[in-house]
Structure formats: C-alpha cells, structure tokens
Structure 1
Amino acid sequence: MTPPDTREQHRPPQRRRAANRGNAAEDAFDRLEKAQQEAAAMTNRADDAWSTPAPDATGAEVVHAPDPAAPMPADAFVEKLARGDVPTLEDCEKHITAITTQWLLAVGRALAAIRDHELFRDKGYTSFTAYLKNEHPWHPSYVSRVIADIPVVEALAEHGVDRDLNEGQASAVRPVLEEHGREALYDVWDSTEGKKSAAALVRVARAKGYLPPPEEAETESGAATFSKNLARFREFADLVGDGQGKRLIEAAKEDPDWGKGVLFPALRQAVGILESEFGPES
C-alpha cells in the first residue's frame, strides 16, 4: 500500500480542512477539464469522430467523414464530474496519468512539427526560438527535452506504464533507451521500486550498468558538450560562408535587444579571441 502523502501536514489549516465532497469534485472538474482541453487541442482525435460504417443502397459500407463543427467526444471522467458524481480515487489517479502522458506526447509532437517543418514562419518568425519566446511560456531548452523525450514516453506507454510520467523522468532514462534499447529501458523502469523519481531511475540504471558512474558521466558529458559545441561552431561558420549571414540580420531585427545585447557582443568577443590566437586576418 502506498503511504499517505505527508505533504498534507504542511499545508495551511484552511487547506487541510477539506470542503465537502461535492466542492472537491467541482474543483477537480475545473482543473482537470482545463488540462484535458489543453491536451485535446494538440492531439489528433479524428479517429474518434468517424461515424460507424453503415450499408448504402447497394449493400456497401459507407464511411462518413467527421463534421468539423461536431464537438469532440467527451471524456467519461469529466462527464462524471459534470453530472455532479463524485469519482473514486482510482478514477482520479487514472485520469491524471492519462492527461499527463497525453500532454507530453501531444505537445511534444506538435512542437516537433512546428520546429522541423518551420511552421513558425507562418506567423512571421524567422526562428523557432523567437516563436517560443513570444507564443509559449516554455524555455527553449525545456521544449528541446520534451521533443527528445517523445520516444521514451511512447515506449513506456506501450509497456503498459499506468502512472504519471513527467519530463524529468523521461529525460533521466532517455540515454538508456538511446544507447541500449527498449528492453533496457523496461528493465530499469520495472526494477525501480517505490517512487520512480528521476533520481531513483538514474540510480537503478547506473547499478545495472546502463549509465556510467557519476564521475565518468561528468567526464563524458563534458566531452560530449565540447564535441557538440564544436560542431555548432563549424556549422555556423559554414552558413555564414555560404552567404546565409543575412539570417543573422533577420534574427537581430526580430529581437533587437538580443541582437544588440547578446549576438553582437558575442561575435565581437569571438573575433577578439581568434585574433589574439592567430593574429588579425591578413
């Protein structure tokens, strides 16, 4: 049996004095309905809208396309709350799990499509980072992790994981999936007892040899970061050399504060470092 959450002891008295079950259900409805709407808005639910095939005059089955104006099929859990029924604890926990997992997959896939197909240009943005800065509250590094975590969430969902899965957990075991495959990922997940926090998952992965010890991990991480940055510098130089420098101007004009306060000083510093090492360009 899962021990009770001791955090309840630290909540304000008025929070600990629970309202009646009807008020609790209403509050849960408001919060969970909002979460469901966010996930549903970015999830492809077209399959649910197709009507049941029915035979036409010739006896052949006819499939009708969904009506664009038709409402999206309602979630049974939210319907229960809307009727004023009080859900069970199991109902609530299953719904929270489903919404969280759907959010990671739905939002991650949508953001990946926006980035990979440069859909942000439809709104006049010249970079994915600028699009995120103005259109969404997420930091680019967080978005990168959410997108990269999609295969982990998909694999664990197929494995029958029936609990809340967040970005921290997925990112923690992503190297296991990438380097050792699904069976190793499942081994780590199933072998982690108690709360499957990101730290606990990493400890199990290291104990099983899927991840290097902390010291080696730091060394490998530093080497990987240097290699990745070197590749980026070379890519940047190639782009400028190929006449793509105008993209820098576009990005700077789109965000003048960043252009003048970050980009230009960084480029000037880079030139100074290179000249101090190799001398002025001849």
Structure 2
Amino acid sequence: MTAEGEMAEGEALVGGMMNAGAVFRRGAVVERPAPRSARALHAHLLALAEHGFNAAPRPVRLTADGREQLTFIPGDVALPPLPCWAMTETALRSVGNLLRRLHDASAAIAVDAGVEWPRSLADPAGGTMLCHNDVCLDNVVFRDGRAVALIDFDLAAPGRAVWDVAMTARYWVPLLDPASAAGFCPTGLDAPMRLRILADSYGLSPQERAELPDVIEQATASCRAFVADRVAAGDPVYIQALSERGGWQRWDRIQRWLAANHEVFTAALSN
C-alpha cells in the first residue's frame, strides 16, 4: 500500500476497494476493518508462518470496536497508473512463485469447517485448502520488481488451487479484451504467453492446465456477480468504478473475449 497522507488516526493507506478510506498505518502496525472470519483467519495466518510462509501479515490483535491490527509489510504496490515494473515477465513469474509458496503452506493447514468463510469470491466447487481469492495488483507487495508478500486476506475461503490461479491470472496476465486493456496496461502484451508463464512459474499440473480456461471463465462470472452485489447494495466505490470503467458493457466484452479465445488459451497452456 502507498501512503496517501497523515491523518489523526494514523497514515491512510490507499489501494483496494472493499475497505477504501478505512485502512491506516501506525508505525509497524496496520489497522483495518476486521472481516467476520477474522479469528479463524488470524489463526490461519499464524499457522502459515509456522509452516514457513513468512510473506503475509502477522495478526497483532482484534480491537473492541471491530477492527483488526496486523503487521505492516514494507514495499511497493502496483497502483494506477501502473509503474513500469508491474507488468514485466519478472513480476509475473514472481507472483506465480509466491502463490505456489502460499498454497504449499496452506495445504498443510486444516481448514476450520465450522467457520462461515466469505462466499462472494470463493470457489463454487469448494476445497480443503484456504485460498486467498483476491490476488489483485493492490494485494501484492513488491521489492525490486519482485513479489515478496500477499496482503488483504479478507476474502479467503476454502477452494482449489486452480481457482486461486484463475483469479490471479485475471489481474496479472491480465485477462482483458484489447479495448478494456487499453489505458490500463502496456500495449502489446501477449495474454496466452503470459498465462503460460504464470502457469509455469506456479507449477500447475497437466490436469490443472486443462481445467484452467474453464475455471477462468467461471471466476470472471463470480467477479461480475460480486460487483453486481456491491452495486445493488449501493456501495459508492463500486458504483463509481463501474461507471468509470465502461459499465456492464465492459464485462460483456471481457466474457465474450474469454469465450472466443478459450482454445487459444488451452493450446498455450498445453504446448
């Protein structure tokens, strides 16, 4: 996250949409609204560290007024306008490597089935591993052009590894039709090649590679439904973003583009 300015409550941090304007840094601690799953999520973050994954915030405490405190991870986050390093192949490979490290640690940690994990971006097929589900540009910390940490685990829920890879690919390939990509990322990016780079750097199995194009389309539909729910609830941040980014026509265009290029992505992943 990047500092926006000094406030009485601490240093306001920008980046992300769900908790816009509600995240503050006080020295080595970040304070933000606590998700409903916070207690179980904090236990999971502590377990990740015990299993050797030191690239996520560590919980400090929950406050009486419904907020959580976590350790601050210094570094750079790719906020618009995107810095030149954000869409390099080096950055992309490092994101795939980091996600695999997260999953290797998460796979060794039992998921508390009694917790009401968020379902808005969760894998509809379910799973036995806790996935991040929101590895967007705002939620990856970089140093020297390489991903070093993941933050904002609010939407973490049980799922399959391939679902988390699909969610990640949407942002980091990125999986956008040319009109949607214009003005957001550098021109000329080869989406099929970059999807292959992400799959290779993560280490997807042959079966997961075969599944990935379908899962990407499912994940995109879930993301669209998530935005629709936030807009229907009157969330001003999502209403404004939807308007500024081309409305539902943009979502229609992206989904048509994904369907039209399904076989291209399948071939890129299998060659």
Shared fold (TM-score, shorter chain, > 0.5): no
TM-score under structure 2 length normalisation: 0.23
Structure with more relative contact order (C-alpha pairs < 8 Å, separation 6 or more) = 2
TM-score under structure 1 length normalisation: 0.22
Q: Between Structure 1 and Structure 2, which shows a larger proportion of helix residues?
A: 1
Q: Between Structure 1 and Structure 2, which shows a larger proportion of strand residues?
A: 2
